[in-house]
Amino acid sequence: MSDPDHTDALEQQIDEWRSYLSRRQAIHAADVTELEDHLREQVAVLVEAGLGADEAFLVAVKRMGDLDSLSRDFALEHSERLWKQLVVPSDPAGSRARIQTDAVVAFCVAVAAALAIKVPALFGIHLDQNASFYARNLSLFVLPFLAGYFVWKRRLQSATVRWLAVAFVVAAVFANVYPFVPGGNTEALAALHLPIALWLVVGIAYAGDRWRQVGGRMDFVRFSGELFIYYVLIALGGGVLMAFMAMIFQAIGVDVEPLFESWLLPCGGVGAVVVASWLVEAKQSVIENMAPVLTRLFTPLFAVVLVAFLVTSLLTGRGVDIDRNVLIAFDLLLVVVLGLLLYSVSARDPHSPPGVFDVVQVVLVVSALLADAVALWAIAARITEFGFTPNRIAALGENVILLVNLTWSAVLYIRFVRGRGLFAAVERWQTDYLPVYALWAGVVVIVFPVVFAYI
């Protein structure tokens, strides 16, 4: 007797295959029915031969591709996801062993990162006395370890490992070689932009040989979004833990705040990045259901906020306040919107036809584009009035980069919604544009301290 769960999964896969063929105008319903009968016969034969339902469907679709070009296209476009659906391992014991090994390695890497951030204290560089040093080097205390974890997990080639190592060494040099003025603008810019540049290096380690492919880069985008969700959840849990810890120790007259400041916060903060990354890898099938829901929830909310802002600005005739803090907050809003767009693209089925959510996405992109133009106008006004500074040039460059991305994203998305383009073009544009952010971050870290004399 067949397993009902496997039967339901097989029917769902056949429904998706049938829908894929039906969306192609060149094939009639009668032809789809005939092909489906042939597909079911192939699956039945393979199941009788001893294959599982999922495996039989995958092999049958591949065989159908030899007879029908649309089935071949379906097999090519869905092969990676179909393989991921084979969730029952042929070797359960071996699978459990691999999971346990990954957990042990990830824990050891997390501990190494946590200890690394305490190494400078051995040389008299303490966190409470050298905050600027730790701010510049914070990403170097965790991202090399995270990249090392993916090097081990992906079994990367030695040539790739050497390039990754060189990137981190160069980053460490430029983060510490310049005689920064303590608390100066260029030091703060270097501290903010170095993690952006190095995150691309982590992406190369994560994707491995697939980094040059759109799918590999998009997987890294999904990983980044899911990592953010898990890290926030871990941070919230850690905050609750420390609150209870402080309360119970205070009851016996012991002050644990120095322990928080010296050990728990810095060590836990960097170690949690590795732990969250391992959780994303281990629980990917669960979080992939959560992240798209959050995306669909916040996309229309942000779209409404931006539209309301633009309408209010137009009706009142008021531009963005050129106060620096306001502009920083405004730019952060645009970055969040861009991240929301990027993750929405990564979470969407590229083969589905345009829908209502895609229209909302267009509204979000166009409103963000107009809001970015308003911010650029305010930055230009500030530069005209007060002159050039490192912060203003960095903000100008970042807003121009956002403007280019949003402009072409709007064009491609509108083409897709109108049925004149493919969603794959939107996906490719977003992934191809990722190195631009890292390149600009590298310019800010390496060039700005020289041009602006470390101020």
In a domain, 305, yes or no: yes
Please, which residues have CB within 8 angstroms of residue 227's CB and are 6 or more apart in sequence? 273, 276, 277, 280
Q: Which helix (H) or strand (E) holds 130?
A: none
Answer yes or no: do 273 and 420 share one domain.
no
Answer yes or no: do 133 and 269 share one domain.
yes
d(CA 373, CA 388): 19
Q: Are 111 and 271 in contact (CB under 8 A)?
A: yes
Phi and psi based region of residue 89 (left: phi greater than 0; alpha: psi -120 to 50; beta: remaining): beta
Answer yes or no: do 412 and 359 share one domain.
yes
In a domain, 274, yes or no: yes
Answer yes or no: do 403 and 381 share one domain.
yes
In a domain, 342, yes or no: yes
Answer yes or no: do 363 and 263 share one domain.
no
Q: Which of 247, 281, 315 is the last residue of a domain?
A: 281
Predicted local confidence at residue 86, as pLDDT: 45
Q: Which of 84, 107, 123 is the last residue of a domain?
A: 84
Structure tokens at 303: 């779209």
- Global pTM reads 0.75
Q: How do the pLDDT tens digits run along the chain, 455 residues long?
A: 445 555 666 777 777 777 776 665 455 555 667 777 778 877 887 777 666 777 777 777 766 654 455 555 665 555 555 544 444 444 555 556 777 888 899 999 999 999 999 999 999 999 888 889 999 999 999 999 999 999 999 999 999 999 999 999 999 999 999 988 877 889 999 999 999 999 999 999 999 988 988 888 988 988 998 899 889 989 998 888 888 888 878 877 888 888 888 899 999 999 999 999 998 887 764 445 566 667 777 888 889 988 988 888 888 877 666 566 667 777 888 888 888 888 888 777 777 788 898 999 999 999 999 988 888 888 888 888 888 889 889 989 999 999 999 999 999 999 999 989 889 899 999 999 999 999 999 999 999 998 887 55
In DSSP notation, 138-153 reads GGGGTHHHHHHHHHHH
In a domain, 410, yes or no: yes
In a domain, 196, yes or no: no
Answer yes or no: do 120 and 251 share one domain.
yes
Q: Which of 255, 281, 307 is the last residue of a domain?
A: 281
Q: How many domains does the chain have?
A: 3
d(CA 158, CA 44): 45
Answer yes or no: do 76 and 117 share one domain.
no
In one-letter notation, the amino acid at residue 399 is N
Range of the domain at 337: 283-455
Answer yes or no: do 392 and 291 share one domain.
yes
In a domain, 259, yes or no: yes
Answer yes or no: do 115 and 46 share one domain.
no
Predicted local confidence at residue 382, as pLDDT: 82
Answer yes or no: do 448 and 347 share one domain.
yes
Answer yes or no: do 140 and 232 share one domain.
yes
Structure tokens at 118: 């305490």
**H runs (alpha helix) in 257-355:** 257-259, 265-282, 284-316, 324-347
pLDDT tens by residue, 239-288: 888 888 888 788 778 888 888 888 999 999 999 999 999 988 877 644 45
